[in-house]
Amino acid sequence: MKARGTLLIGYDVERIPGRVPGEKWVGQALAENTAEMFLEAALRIHQEVGVPATLFVVGCKIERLRPQLEACLASGWFEIAQHTHEHYPLKTVVEESPDNVYLPGLPFDRIEEQLARPVELLRRCLGVSCQGVTAPYSHYRGLADRPEILEIIARHGMRYVRSCGRNSRDYFPLGWDVQPFWYDRQGFPELLETPMQGWIDAQWRREHGWANWAAYHAYLKEQVDRVADAGLCWSHCQHDWTSVLYDEPLDWTRKFLQYAAERLQLMTHGDFYQQMRRPGSPAAARDLDCGAATDARPH
């Protein structure tokens, strides 16, 4: 079957024992070495299936995870980007949701350090030039209303952002009509947003049961079919700790990758950015406005 859509796998490697994720929110304890377990298993299954992915790593874990990250890089299947230094929200989140979550954004004077330190650590520890960042928790309209944050991101050499993941209720899912777009109007025409449409894995599984992998896999297959049929681009968000929760070998993640690989083009976020920059690449993305199409409801 000829692939018609594009899937960008983005794994958020964010486990910080005692804080991310909150044990109370998950409802059970998580292993201290969750990130190490995930990276070792992810390397194995991506080599087996033969598909690429991007690892968005919190800066404060880069030195500890250096052996696993080096192995992932050496395999040729992974790009490594950042997830800020300590996983604090860049913007305030005010959910209209069952939990009505309120997360205050960082004061502006703390944001530069959160974005700059992982860039330096990736360069020093792994020889990686950081090309992109995913925003903790994600946001309505991404960073379209925060050009001062975009300026920091661009100044530190990053080319793409994955921050748009919530609808107008500051909740999930984000509608499929929100496709990759450039931050032209904010003054950063070379900075690309790659939205996270649909449900973020952590929120879907919390609402439907952490052990309910079969139902979650069925949901993911439906989204793959939707993306393939419509020729869309999907930046799928999956986390280190969610991936190994009730599935340490990542068997369900392997099944998802195998299904997606038969129907979609799988790319890293960095390679997708380069494709969008080529002469003759789809120009429609430049006309999309994240804030104009984020009021999707669950299907």
Answer yes or no: is pLDDT of 279 > 80. Answer: no
- Categorize the per-residue pLDDT at 278 as very low, low, confident or very high, splitting at 50, 70 and 90: confident
Indicate the pTM of the whole model.
0.93
Three-state DSSP state, 100 = coil
Whether residue 233 is contained in a domain is answered as yes
- Categorize the per-residue pLDDT at 4 as very low, low, confident or very high, splitting at 50, 70 and 90: confident
Please state, in angstroms and rounded to a whole number, the distance separating the CA atoms of residues 35 and 197: 24
Answer yes or no: is pLDDT of 2 > 90. Answer: no
Three-state DSSP state, 216 = helix
Whether residue 238 is contained in a domain is answered as yes
Across residues 194-206, what is the average pLDDT?
Answer: 98
Beta strands in the chain (DSSP E): 5-13, 53-57, 78-82, 93-94, 102-103, 132-140, 160-166, 181-183, 188-193, 233-239, 264-267
| CATH value at residue 271 | 3.20.20.370
Domain extent for 256:
5-292
Whether residue 71 is contained in a domain is answered as yes
pLDDT tens figures, 53-65: 999 999 999 999 9
Please state, in angstroms and rounded to a whole number, the distance separating the CA atoms of residues 118 and 279: 31
Number of domains within the chain: 1
Residue type, 153: I
Answer yes or no: is pLDDT of 194 > 50. Answer: yes
Please state, in angstroms and rounded to a whole number, the distance separating the CA atoms of residues 248 and 202: 16
Answer yes or no: is pLDDT of 1 > 80. Answer: no
**Mean pLDDT score of the chain:** 93
Whether residue 129 is contained in a domain is answered as yes
Would you state the pLDDT for residue 296?
33
CB-based burial, 104-126: b 16+ in 10 Å, e otherwise: ebbeeeebbebbbbbbebbeeeb
Whether residue 23 is contained in a domain is answered as yes
pLDDT tens figures, 136-149: 999 999 999 999 99
pLDDT tens figures, 112-141: 999 999 999 999 999 999 999 999 999 999
Answer yes or no: is pLDDT of 288 > 50. Answer: no
Would you state the pLDDT for residue 282?
53
Whether residue 298 is contained in a domain is answered as no
Whether residue 297 is contained in a domain is answered as no
Range from 24-28, 106-110, 124-128 carrying the lowest mean pLDDT: 24-28
Whether residue 299 is contained in a domain is answered as no
- Categorize the per-residue pLDDT at 289 as very low, low, confident or very high, splitting at 50, 70 and 90: very low
- ∠ CA 25-29-35, nearest 5°, is 95
